Amino acid sequence: MSDLPTTIAVSLLLLAPLVAGGLSLLLTGSRWLHVANLTSIGTLVAAEVMIARSVLEQGSLTAFGEIVYIDALSSVILFIIGTVGLACSLYMRSYMDEQVARGVIAPKRLNLFFFLFHMFLLTMVVATVANSLGVQWVAIEATTLTTTFLIAFWRRRESLEAGWKYLILCSVGISLALFGVVLMYYSSLRVLGDVSSALNITQLQQVASQLDPHILKLAFVFLFVGYGTKVGLVPMHSWLPDAYTEAPAPVAAMLAGVLETVAVYAILRCRGIVDQAVPPAFTGELFAVFGLVSFALAAFFILLQHNYKRLFAYSSIEHMGLAMVGFGIGGPIGNFGGLFHLVNHALAKSLAFFAAGNIHRRFKTVEITEVHGLTTVLPWSALALLIAGLALAALPPFALFASELQIITALGSSGLPGEWTQPGTRFPIVVLLFCSLVAFGGLLYHITSMVWGVAPKDIVPGEQWSVGHVPIILLGTVLVGFCWALPPPLQQLFEAAATLLISR
């Protein structure tokens, strides 16, 4: 069901990072590496726009004989991958070059960095567009393998530790998800009988209501815990703060903004199938409980942080938790709020890590107490940090305020799913509001202390304009803009995706 232009767009989507990854190993000189990188990511974004348009006009599409399946939900995720990827690529132009110039890394290692970066992009795109749940699993495990060396890229003791922890914890989590996939296949084989396509989403969706609920329940628990490790839900989150602190800033932005989102997407995909055979309250309850616990615990951890990168890491756990609550409540508002929150969080968190990267390079420390007077030392980064911080604290006029409000509205109107809360209980809302207040206080307290004050004497003030500032300004503008008005095509896309998520 795909015409020629979409087939070309899908091939470009997959080929761009693959070719650029291959070129990264061959090219010499940072200039050409960046050219290859930006060309590839530009192609990726263009292909995504074409695909999104076709999805809006004609609904879901398949390509290459049902190997690729794209609907509105995958288009939203592709949109996030493209946007954050583009922002990171622009930022890397100045960030990586400075690291080479300062002699932190040998110029040769830049090739490895870009190779891994492209493979990371490729695996995420494959995970998003794969029709088979099995292929999706393979791609998500591959994201672990490609990112672990990116996290350990500086090769310090701490970064090696963070990379190893990430590799082991995520691989184990993902193995559990594979058991879930096997069970899913087990249940679908009994209905479909066809060996090769019984894991395809297109096939599963048609027969979902006939699948056995016992097997599906067990499968979903394994899938949820497995991919939930990758999302960083409490209590499977312990790799996350270390990885975000040690990874180079653009990598941290990609991990926080995109990788988590892709993992959430994998869970949502499976949920769409499970919900048709099992009462939706079952999956909704898992989403809501894990989401709420992650949200609440992370909010308190934000208060305790003394390292600004860890601060943002815990804020990631918090916002992912909130998005999960939104998906758990379900319905048009809950699902839309959850999706919109994923997008906004991706944008705000990349902005935060770009600012953090700039600060780290100048101050050479990640301690909050040793960073003061950013307004005089790095005025642009100070502004970026302030915008990111206020946005992550969900203040108006930033987009996260809009999405958080939607989730809280959904919670107020329909309450948490499942039997353990009576209809009309205010308890979850009170918890949610209180914890967001705690997170708000924690973020603002830490960030204001960094932005204002007197700068340490040994730090050279002044910020030179670079390419790295372009994505900072763009992201800041978009974050404010999305609060007031979503561009109509995006609005339609999000609404179409939210409709897909509503369980029948």
The footprint of another protein (CB under 8 A) covers 132, 134-135, 137-139, 141-142, 145, 148-149, 152, 155-158, 160-165, 167-168, 171-172, 175-176, 178-179, 181-183, 185-187, 189-190, 195-199, 212, 214-215, 218, 241-242, 245-246, 301, 304
Q: Which is nearer to another protein, 334 or 442 (CB)?
A: 442
Please report how close the Cβ of residue 78 comes to another protein at its closest, in angstroms. Answer: 21
**Shorter beta-carbon distance to another protein: residue 49 or 135:** 135
Q: Three-state DSSP class for 132?
A: strand
Any idea which residue has 């310090």 for tokens?
156
Choice between 11 and 175, CB closer to another protein: 175
| Bridge partners (DSSP) listed for residue 452 | none
In whole angstroms, the minimum distance from the beta carbon of 373 to another protein comes to 27
Ramachandran angles phi, psi of 432, nearest 5°: -60, -45
Q: How far is the CB of 43 from another protein (least distance, A)?
A: 25
CA angle 277, 280, 281 (to 5 degrees): 135
Smallest distance, Å, CB 463 to another protein? Answer: 30
Of residues 43 and 132, the one with the C-beta less far from another protein:
132
Q: Is 307 helix (H, G, I), strand (E, B) or coil?
A: strand
The separation between the first and the last C-alpha atoms of the chain, rounded to the nearest angstrom, is 25
Closest residue by Cα to residue 211 from 232, 191, 197, 241: 191
Torsion, CA 429, CA 431, CA 434, CA 440, rounded to 10: -90
441-to-211, 301, 303, 390 alpha-carbon distances in Å = 47, 12, 8, 10
Nearest to 226 by CA among 133, 305, 333, 330: 133
Cβ proximity to another protein, 195 vs 460, nearer residue: 195
Q: CB of residue 206 vs another protein: minimum separation in angstroms? A: 17
Min dist CB 252 to another protein, Å, is 14
Contact 279, 223 (CB under 8 A): no
Q: How many CB atoms lie within 10 A of CB 85?
A: 29
Query: CB-wise, 212 or 495, nearer to another protein?
Result: 212
Whether the Cβ atoms of residue 35 and residue 20 lie closer than 8 Å to each other:
no
HSE (CB half, 13 Å, CA atoms) of 392? 39
Cβ of residue 220: shortest distance to another protein, in angstroms? 13
Nearest to another protein of 54, 143 (CB atom): 143
Structure token pair of residue 19: 């070719």
Of the pair 165, 319, the CB lying nearest another protein is at 165
Structure tokens at 56: 């809006």
Mapping DSSP onto H, E and C, the string for 29-88 reads CHHHHHHHHHHHHHHHHHHHHHHHHHHHHHCCEEECCCCEEECHHHHHHHHHHHHHHHHH
* Structure-token match 């492209």, residue found: 118
Give SS3 for 120: helix
> How many Å separate Cα 262 from the centre of its chain?
6
Smallest distance, Å, CB 134 to another protein?
3
Only one residue has tokens 């897909």, namely 500
Alpha helices in 201-307 (DSSP H): 201-207, 213-231, 239-246, 249-254, 260-277, 280-304
**Minimum distance from residue 95 beta carbon to another protein (Å):** 23
Nearest CB to another protein, comparing residues 216 and 498: 216
- In angstroms, give the least distance from the CB of 171 to another protein: 6
Q: Specify whether the CB–CB gap between 310 and 162 falls below 8 A.
A: no
We find the least distance from the C-beta atom of residue 183 to another protein, in angstroms, to be 7
Of 106 and 195, the one with the shorter C-beta distance to another protein is 195
Q: Give the nearer residue to another protein in terms of CB position, either 54 or 144.
A: 144
Nearer to another protein, 196 or 422 (CB): 196
Closest approach of Cβ 140 to another protein, in Å?
10
φ, ψ of residue 71 to 5 degrees: the values are -130, -170
